[in-house]
Amino acid sequence: DWTMGAYREQMIATIREQVGDKRVICGLSGGVDSSVAAILIHEAIGDQLTCVFVDHGLLRNNEATEVVGMFRDNYNIQLIHADESDLFLGELDGQSDPETKRKIIGKLFIDVFQKYADTIEDAEFLAQGTLYPDVIESVSFSGGPSVTIKSHHNVGGLPEKMGLKLVEPLRELFKDEVRALGRELGLPDSFIGRHPFPGPGLAIRCPGEITREKLEILREADAVYIDQIRKHGLYDEIWQAFVAILPVRTVGVMGDGRTYDYACALRAVTSVDGMTADYYPYSHEFLGETATRIINEVKGINRVTYDITSKPPGTIEWE
């Protein structure tokens, strides 16, 4: 007789037995998997758990505050908010090659995580929100090219380097089961149903050089776009939706004047697992209304396009 309630109790016992009176560090990304793992471990061992939330300055509007607030206020989990945006944006300054940008972010992420983890005395375990499909995927790809989708957040190689043992309470679960467990643990539906957000964050939605100005424009446009999607009741039908700011400025007219501002692309796809995807068939009315809102409400954008590429041949993200 298998229920989520029973799984929860069983995992709590397993975690207690594995960890004993030692300390556990958990990297929080703000995503569902690491959040559910952290909350479950916190139920098992309370203050023996410390979470580290690495803020690389590439998050969406209010995202850091929301994640940090939820864990500190609602769950009372010990949490280090590592605001390292100056470091990340500094190293990314002037870089426009997609792979170089990803490598910089991946390396800094590990450095930063390690720096904060080193401040936690007697840490013996590293918690990760690894799911069953991640386990399968990393096995089948081992030795091959580094194509694991989540290599960035499942801080590969870090546990060995730091001499930490792994705690992976979600290793037997599929995504829908993790969501069910999250509900069981009291996470709000709005959080559990959130679209996936990539580890490198807005960096891969800002093709070309990343500047603070572009990031700010991108954040505002993304917020308007997601607001539109929610208002039209489409959020749960779409697997992932976001804005990419394009590395080009174009000419427009506004009132009596000429504008010369950035163009952006809206993206929305349906998918089961992110491996393949179809672009979402919005109505022209929705697209027109959204374009008008973005151009009127977001200073710095004067042209909106809709990306109608499916995957394959496109990827979901722009980089």
Name 188's Cβ contacts closer than 8 Å, sequence gap at least 6.
none
DSSP3 helix / strand / coil % (the chain, rounded to 5): 45, 20, 35
Question: Tokens 């952006």 belong to which residue?
Answer: 264
Smallest distance from ligand XMP to CB 94, Å: 21
| 163 in a known ligand binding site | no
Binding of ligand XMP at residue 60 (CB under 6 A)? Answer: no
Separation of alpha carbons 88 and 148, rounded Å: 22
CB 50 within 8 A of CB 79: yes
Among 60, 150, 205, 214, binds ligand XMP (CB under 6 A): 150
Cβ closest to ligand XMP, residue 283 vs residue 315: 315
Distances (CA, A) of 122 to 38, 39, 131, 296: 18, 21, 27, 54
Distances (CA, A) of 78 to 31, 51, 128, 188, 248: 17, 6, 16, 20, 43
Of the ranges 53-61, 121-129, 139-147, 195-203, which one interacts with ligand XMP (CB under 6 A)? 195-203
Cβ closest to ligand XMP, residue 138 vs residue 259: 138
Site string for ligand XMP, 154-193 (x = CB under 6 A): ----------------------------------------
Binding of ligand XMP at residue 240 (CB under 6 A)? Answer: yes
For residue 166, which of 15, 11, 7 has the smallest C-alpha distance?
Answer: 15
Binding of ligand XMP at residue 198 (CB under 6 A)? Answer: yes
Binding of ligand XMP at residue 199 (CB under 6 A)? Answer: yes
Separation of alpha carbons 166 and 232, rounded Å: 43
Of the ranges 107-115, 127-135, 172-180, 198-206, which one interacts with ligand XMP (CB under 6 A)? 198-206
Dihedral (CA of 294, 298, 299, 300) sign: negative
Site string for ligand XMP, 296-315 (x = CB under 6 A): ---------------x---x
Binding of ligand XMP at residue 207 (CB under 6 A)? Answer: no
- Could you tell me which residues are annotated as the binding site for ATP? 29-35
| Residues near ligand XMP (CB under 6 A) | 149-150, 152-153, 196, 198-200, 240, 274, 311, 315-317
